[in-house]
Amino acid sequence: LQQEARLLNHKLYAALAYCRANRLDRVVIDSPTPRLGILTAGKSYLDVRQALDELGIDEPLAAEIGIRLYKVGMVWPLEPEGVRHFAEGLEEILVIEEKRQLLEYQLKEELYNWREDVRPRVIGKFDEIGEWSEGNWLLPAAGELPVATIARVIAERIGRFFTSPTIANRLNIIASKQKAAQTPLVLAERKPHFCSGCPHNTSTQVPEGSRAVAGIGCHYMVTWMDRSTSTFTHMGGEGVPWVGQAPFTEEKHIFANLGDGTYFHSGLLAIRQSLAAKVPITYKILYNDAVAMTGGQPVDGNLSVARITRQLEAEGVGKMVIVTNDPAKYAEVTDLAPHVPVRHRDELDAVQRELRAYPGVSVLIYDQVCATEARRRRKRGKLPAIAQRVVINEAVCEGCGDCSVQSNCLSVVPVDTDFGTKRQIDQSACNQDFSCLKGFCPSFVTIDGGKPRKNGAAVDDTDWPILPAPQLPTTTQPYNLIITGVGGMGVITLGALVGMAAHLDGKGISTLDMTGLAQKYGAVFSHLRIADRPQDIHAARIATGEAHAILGGDLVVSASPEALSKMLEGRTRAVVSCTDTPTAEFTRNRDWHFPLAGLQRQLSDTLGADHLHFIDAQHLATRLMGDALYANMLLLGYAWQMGLVPVSATALEQAIALNGAAVDANRQAFAWGRRAAVFPDLVAAIAGPLAGQP
């Protein structure tokens, strides 16, 4: 009771006093004759500033119109003295906030019983009619609140007492951008997928007649694959819905996927729930030794397979099996729980059939290091390098697709030959898991000690003339650049390099990376806004039709509805890699073909041929640098030489050096991109064709 009284009678008022004394809430734009007040906070404040910019309303014009803009720094509790002072003299207050009406409800409470002579209309999610009915939202609470929507609402409220041809024209431009960005036909989709060689390609398989449920982690992606896995839960809820379902179904058993990081966080609680309920379920603990979904961080805590077995034994789990790609490493492990066998991953199906016959809670621990993390460790010398490579003899391959069925791996890619579509291994992406060898295919060849090599015809840097300096875009107003690409191919790194270069040039820069699960071979977007003055940059996300330039690291992502919505004919220029990188659909459909011509046509129809350049960056990087991972850096060099990137070459060189990863190779890839822009035929002749290409 004393704590409650202290909180409600003292602490909240102390917080309000702090907010008031430090001006956390303040008027940002004011007018001598205010009529319309706009109250907002956080991201919505930046969106409001961007909306005013797009309407052509600067501070002098806002003062003339009668706009007063109030920025809330502490959204709860709302400090009353500041908002009451803000409300004086206003006819109407427009509350702009994401999601539900946290600020709007507080504002109405502060004003309603204050003074009868100060009671402006307060609108926000609904207009003054205030009807709470479906489809009658003014500023929707569901989903994102776009800048274009905010601009339209502000213009409509202003239009009741102030007319301006400039605002009307700007509003028409915004409407035309939205119309031009109407969702086009989706020819291909870059869905997130397991990395090449990912343990989940094998571990998430279930025996015929069984099903699994998903949880939080990379393995969640199995829900859109052909793996008999559906539904997912929050952390700590893995498999728990089965407790409620089991008594009401004839189904006898299910599997539940559970990542090792999630297990340590709260997944053990889910297993306890199943033990208490005595339901027949097998938890597959996917021990990958890294939090792969968010970049390969180490799992919190001191966790090992042996300790997991001991902990689960103590909890009462009666049957456990360890499945691994390397059983030999358990020869010297002495602290496993008793009677826990270690089996090879090739026996996974048989092991799962044994466990689903067990009447209680069982656990399968699938032990295999995350493929991408293993690759990182090999590069850093923390794991021994694998000297073996796999290639496919295209003369023998019949294009049956069994290798994709066996491995579910995106490093098995199509290659067009005179005898039809065959298969080849993308050596730049391959993580040497060798699951593709499980089939009975005579076209596979293993090579010991082989390494991808550069094209031997590459000339020395001194043989090239000095390249002309391009005319770089001005940044007196924010310049909007979007980088698109595939997760895991360095899109975010590229955005960070350009951002650092802008900083080194003394410019303001904002970056916004749209990733999530997309970092696993899905669509990735990096929004960059560069200006001479940082204060001129408001919203970080580039609005509909506002992109000045597109660096397209992937054709599928660059022609997606999300990317096309940011482009506008006559305004946007683009350099796009036209490499036909297959999507995850190819792992399931052996006859899938990359819709190259259709995707190129979509971009050309949106931008116009004069504002669009295609370059096969991955092909050039593979031939000139020996690794397709340098494709994005080569693309950056090409785009910079074409005048699409408003930072100096000196700053970019410094940014590459500061990044500290493969500095010389990245500088060389940047130089090759510049050369390809000036001497395309010569660079193409030096690179030559890849195997299977004319």
Closest C-alpha to 374, from 296, 481, 302: 296
In this predicted structure, the answer to whether residue 456 has a pLDDT above a threshold of 50 is no
Distance between CA atoms of 550 and 565, rounded to whole angstroms?
Answer: 12
Tell me the sheet residues that pair with 415. 422
pLDDT grade, residue 294 (50/70/90)? low
SS3 for 209-268 is CCCEEECCCHHHHHHHCCCCEEEECCCCCCCCHHHHHHHHCCCCCEEEEEEHHHHHHHHH
Q: Hey, what are 391's tokens?
A: 């290639």
How high does pLDDT run on average in the chain?
89
Could you give the 3-state DSSP secondary structure of residue 597? Answer: helix
- H/E segment holding residue 613: strand 612-615
pLDDT in the model for residue 157? 93
Tell me if 646 sits within 8 A of 530, measured CB to CB: yes
SS3 for 269-306 is HHHHHHHHHCCCEEEEEEECCCEHHHCCECCCCCCCHH
- H/E segment holding residue 483: strand 479-486
Tell me if 86 sits within 8 A of 70, measured CB to CB: yes
Distance between CA atoms of 190 and 640, rounded to whole angstroms?
Answer: 26
- Please tell me what DSSP assigns to residue 170: H
- Please tell me what DSSP assigns to residue 115: B
Which amino acid belongs to residue 409?
Answer: C
Q: Are strands 36-41 and 67-72 parallel, antiparallel or unpaired?
A: parallel
Q: Are strands 412-417 and 420-425 parallel, antiparallel or unpaired?
A: antiparallel
Overall size of the chain counted in residues: 694
pTM: predicted TM-score of the whole model, two decimal places: 0.86
Highest mean pLDDT among 122-131, 420-429, 442-451, 477-486: 477-486
pLDDT in the model for residue 457? 46
Distance between CA atoms of 495 and 515, rounded to whole angstroms?
Answer: 13
CA distance between the termini of the chain: 82
In this predicted structure, the answer to whether residue 71 has a pLDDT above a threshold of 90 is yes
pLDDT in the model for residue 568? 86
Contacts of 201 (CB under 8 A, 6+ apart): 194, 407, 408, 409, 433, 435
Distance between CA atoms of 371 and 431, rounded to whole angstroms?
Answer: 6
- H/E segment holding residue 668: helix 663-678
Give the pLDDT mean for 245-266: 92
Contacts of 43 (CB under 8 A, 6+ apart): 98, 539
pLDDT grade, residue 175 (50/70/90)? confident
Distance between CA atoms of 677 and 484, rounded to whole angstroms?
Answer: 19
- H/E segment holding residue 425: strand 420-425
pLDDT in the model for residue 3? 96
- pLDDT tens digits, 31-69: 999 999 999 999 999 999 999 998 999 999 999 999 999
Spell 212-222 as b/e; 16+ CB within 10 A means b. Answer: bbbbbbbbbbb
- pLDDT tens digits, 118-157: 889 999 999 877 666 555 789 999 888 889 899 999 999 9
Distance between CA atoms of 38 and 87, rounded to whole angstroms?
Answer: 10
249 against 452, higher pLDDT: 249
Q: How far is CA 348 from CA 14, 205, 342, in A?
A: 61, 8, 11
Distance between CA atoms of 272 and 279, rounded to whole angstroms?
Answer: 11
Helices (H), 425-551: 491-504
